[in-house]
Amino acid sequence: DVKVTQSSRYLVKRTGEKVFLECVQDMDHENMFWYRQDPGLGLRLIYFSYDVKMKEKGDIPEGYSVSREKKERFSLILESASTNQTSMYLCASSSWDPKEGEKLFFGSGTQLSVL
């Protein structure tokens, strides 16, 4: 089974801190994604990456950056955390098959609270 592992389940940080959220996948997937999940808003894409050292902005990239130095690891960085970044963060990776199409695999999420 594909495993997508997020390093922390809960994080509490202070306003202005630099925050790193780590995600590792073990299936050699090329595509990786960071979403944030807020009640009533569903999942919103922050950044995604289709290859090592490659990144693309999603729908809400402001206040975030990412790093993908190795294929299996995709990090989300909050340069200076703010209270409006309190949210559940979900990492995903995906595979593509011409017959099966795309399938997303999600980590368990990191609940970040910024005080």
Partner 1 sequence: AQSVAQPEDQVNVAEGNPLTVKCTYSVSGNPYLFWYVQYPNRGLQFLLKYITGDNLVKGSYGFEAEFNKSQTSFHLKKPSALVSDSALYFCLVKAGNTGKLIFGQGTTLQVKP
Residue 60 within binding range of partner 1, rule CB under 8 A: no
* Bridge partner residues of 90 (DSSP): 35
Which residue carries 């999940």 as its tokens? 37
Return the number of the residue (42 or 69) whose C-beta is nearest partner 1. Answer: 42
Segment contacting partner 1 (CB under 8 A): 11-19, 41-49, 60-68, 72-80?
Answer: 41-49
Cβ partners under 8 Å of residue 111, min gap 6: 9, 10, 11, 87, 88, 89
Residues in the chain: 115
**Cβ 90 to partner 1 shortest distance, Å:** 6
Residue pair 41/100 in contact (Cβ under 8 Å)? The answer is: no
Site string for partner 1, 66-105 (x = CB under 8 A): ------------------------x-x------xxxxxxx
Of the candidates 74, 109, 112, 114, which one interacts with partner 1 according to CB under 8 A? 109
